[in-house]
Structure 1
């Protein structure tokens, strides 16, 4: 894939380790869902079925300069939302649904406006899209416009395309019972891979297979969550940093016999980050990867972090639920949202999605200004 002129090519950042092909007995195992399903899968897109190659190893990610294309976008959205397009808000602050355009046909101006719209609305669902029907490399070319591709350290990917992160579940009843054996709910709020030094921004997820009913994804607006806090709490949060860790994810993968393609990392990020396009401030904490607040004692850190995570999770008035349907593409801004899949169907239907995960800038904050609370 030809990289954007504003991005560092991934080949310069992620270097595969030489695979062992000399001895079949010592060759690392490659797990393929297609083989496990006997080669006669019911998957609509078998080329997207997950593989896990234990011989894939990548070096640490290095910093790169990210340019957000939403900064210079035409705010009339004339190239993204021409006459005949429909756009419907799902809630006042977060979520929109668009019909009447084809994302894969957008030119650069349209994609710039797409980045801006997603930054403003936080998550946008596009119906009747052809992204899943394109060759995988063409889908990656589309996603690569928005940033350097992230290769997930533990997830399954289509064979030969490690830049694609796959969500895949054949949800038989026993799997559902097993998943909820120690949980009362499947809700698991997270923002994707925030343990990276430069976490993702404009993120793309498209449906391959899904149940007729169920398997929705819910998103929360972390900008609105920040706005709801009192001025005193806002002021206290500014300047604080939190530890985001990928260590536990890697350990869990190893315990299950899964892959770990890259050594796990931890990074510190501000509790409140500023969006480079909208200038909005957002809480930047999530239950999936935020572990502690730097400089606070454990009891203090646990209490403050617990409050913030509860504040995010119970904010039904700043959350949007996306219902999946065939040919749906959902694009969200990972910098200012958290999300959770909803595992609520027991009919045995496959839930299979592909994610393209462009990285963005390193999180930063701008100073707290009391006047902001008066607006």
Structure 2
């Protein structure tokens, strides 16, 4: 079994921080790194997001205004050298340009090492076309802010939707965490309005940050170059039986099987936490222990507070939690009209309309990824 750093790729508000806390209990053998690529995505000189484009002070105050994608990888490499298995949980759209824009390699990663004492530039390649998985008619990108670092004046890799070269992507063992947009979208929206926005510093809801389109495109690309799949954890069917539409592997990358596909649906995890975490551990090569589901010591809480400090307001529930406990009852199944009524009551007509639009825009990508989710 590979001992590569585990990279749990997810979207916002997928119960991912609670999921991460499970593995933070294993501090003797696992080194958790919490959402490192957001530093470069939002604040650094290679930032892809325009969220703080007009607020230079916010970028400086973050402490990450000099973070590049390379400095993030440098940190991961340093922590990988400590003898523990590295566990990264991160939001996948941090590695992709927003609004389905074509990707090119981040300038700091444009020259990557290919063996001791050697390096080589990423070859020039045509930009990929806008993805089929995003409805650009529903989401209109804002004008690129003056002085924004993206788009980069760098090469692209054929088919690669990220700003990271495939050779670097291949250094991770990828797994995936998803959740129904009916839950994740309003949860994220709540963090961008009063009173929470005063804590988070995110003062508007940006539909491009939902993250499903980016997660799906990365998932399909990793499948196409056989970094994951075709075998699906806990299922007898292979991914190619579910979706055989992907193009053949890119030249230069193996066509043999990669790491098995490991997709966790957060709502399934909340129903059966122990079996799901055990199946996840088996898939990625970690030893499972039931004690991982409980974190109620002073050391546990201190570790969580320090790890989640940079994203204030987003992780309050996970910080205050004591463990991962199975739900006592199955979640109530709601009609779309009931969802709309709930959002209208909580967030008013404008908020409800924005949530509805985002949910509808992301359901197809969620349902696509759901096909590959583990069953326990």
TM-score, normalised with respect to structure 2: 0.25
More relative contact order in 1 or in 2 (CA 8 Å, sep 6+)? 1
